[in-house]
Structure 1
Amino acid sequence: MAGDLDFTEPAERFAVSLLGVTLRLNGVGGVIVETEAYDAEDPASHAFRGPTARNAVMFGPPGRAYVYRSYGLHWCLNLVCGPQPGAAVLIRALAPTDGLAVMAQRRGLSAARLLCSGPGRLCQALGITVAQNGLCVTEPPFELLAPAAPPAEILVGPRIGLTKGVETPWRFGLKGSPHVSKPFPRAG
């Protein structure tokens, strides 16, 4: 399926195209229900100030995992993309479908809604750490599978937890999913 994804699309378009895709690591995962886009021109992006040891993967080839620690506590998974270096899509939430018992054990809970609703929870549930940083997401241990049907309706809103670039509406989610990390603002 990975061949169906265009990792060279601009981050905001690629973030939308990931919705409904099944993401697995070593057979554990689920359907992507929430994403956030970032590119090198975005003041909220890790790439904004140029390459560093931490964000070097963002300046490499598209289709790689960029994994970093947020607030020194939680791992976050991004998929590198874009026509230019420095873009990635943060995977914010999954609807868990595969390896539920493994996820529950890793997370210390069994409530399906809480297993992968947020980037830190998602990484803990899937066992994602810095060990996956730089790996190609179209090859094992990763797996990306096309959705059975395109998403019915996609929500758009502001990204979460930012102090810069807050006004950029590059957070996307599947309407009606109970697994998104936080509700989207109501339209109108």
Structure 2
Amino acid sequence: MERTLTPLPKSFYIKPTLILAKELLGCILVKVTEEGITSGVIVETEAYLGAADRAAHSFQNRRTKRTEIMFHEPGLVYTYQMHTHCLVNVVTGRTGTPEAVLIRAVEPFSGIELMLKRRPVSNIKNLTSGPGKLTKALGITMDDYGKPFYNSSLFIAEGKQPTSIEEGTRIGIDNSGEAKDYPYRFWVPGNPFVSR
């Protein structure tokens, strides 16, 4: 019997960003659309620590139309466009402290046929093994920007915590000075859907 996925409460998001980035692993990212429901188990995340983190969009408290939601309360959706992809983040940190966790990869959990319709791939491992891939497969768009993860059509449900977590440097931020070496990427070791 398929269990009902229900959003984690707002209180789940009220914790330090690096801790939340690890605790999101094993949780289930769910998107409800008119076409159907798709979901994936979060297997890779990256933390961005706001004002002091040169790799963060909100470095030095940079407040723009794009980053505005990062200055709000934790548990909100921060989507942004990168090239042709939409990427999805969880807003973390206290109000006024612009931090976020990027969801880098998920393992398909439900609605896989619909995901394959949106992202036809011959190898299932390529379906959601990257931040732009997973948003396309799940139907996450810029329309999700600013919505609460605990009460919207895009939500995070309780899953099963992994038995071990690996950590290392973040990906694609080579021009961010010393921040490129921070060990703020977390993943489930051995999972085939981790981006690399």
If the length of structure 2 is used for normalisation, what is the TM-score?
0.87
1:88 aligns with 2:100: yes
- Report percent identity of matched pairs: 38
> Once the 2 structures are TM-superposed, how far is the Cα of residue 6 of structure 1 from its aligned partner?
2.9
Q: Structure 2 CA distance, aligned partners of 1:53 and 1:139?
A: 23
Q: 2:56 aligns with which of 45, 57, 61?
A: 45
CA deviation map 1:72-106 (0-9, x unaligned): 21110000011352000000000001110111011
Partner residue of 2:187 out of 146, 159, 173: 173
Deviations 1:22-72 (A, max 9, x none): 1101121110000000021201000113211111111111111100011x2
**Which amino acid letter does the alignment assign opposite residue 174 of structure 1?**
V
Picking from 26, 32, 44, the partner of 2:42 is 32
Number of positions where the alignment pairs a residue of Structure 1 with one of Structure 2? 180
Quick one: which of 5, 15, 20 aligns to 2:21?
15
Match in the other structure for 2:69: 57
Q: Give the letter aligned to residue 179 of structure 1.
A: F
Alpha-carbon distance in 1 for matches of 2:189, 2:89: 22
Give a deviation string over 1:132-151, Cα, whole Å, max 9, x none.
01111111302322124x21
Q: 2:81 aligns with which of 52, 55, 69?
A: 69
Say if 2:144 and 2:154, in contact at 8 Å, map to a contact too: no
Distance in 2, Cα, partners of 1:168 & 1:89: 14
**Cα deviation digits, residues 107-151 of structure 1 (max 9, x gap):** 122532111100000111011111001111111302322124x21
Which amino acid letter does the alignment assign opposite residue 145 of structure 2? N
- Out of 109, 118, 141, the position equivalent to 2:153 is 141
Distance in 2 of aligned mates of 1:117 and 1:80 = 21
TM normalised by structure 1 equals 0.91
Match of 1:157 in 2: 168
Where structure 1 has 5 or more consecutive residues not aligned to the other structure, the ranges are 183-188
